Amino acid sequence: MNHIKLLFFATIRDRAGTKSMEVDIPADMTILQLKEKIGTDYPNLKESLKSVLITINREYAFDEAVVPTDAEIALFPPVSGG
């Protein structure tokens, strides 16, 4: 098992109702598989996951990336700073 931290921002945080949570996931899970798991476990996030950006340890990450041990994963919509 891999114990990871999930962070949510903006629209995703509103829908999740929390800023962060810690979850256990199987070792060698990919970002795509993690998204599927989050969509299943938290159905109200499913719609948001279609256009979500994901980071692993503060770097943008993509579907095929494997989630490393003790990772900090963030989910958020395209940025709108300035």
Contact positions toward another protein, by CB under 8 A? 7, 9-11, 14, 53, 55, 58, 60, 62, 74, 76-82
Residue 41 CB, shortest distance to another protein, in Å, is 22
DSSP code of residue 30: B
Q: The dihedral of CA 63, 18, 4, 22: what is its sign?
A: negative
CB of 41 or CB of 59, closer to another protein = 59
DSSP code of residue 67: P
CB of 17 or CB of 26, closer to another protein = 17
C-alpha–C-alpha distance, residues 62 and 82, integer Å: 25
CB of 43 or CB of 81, closer to another protein = 81
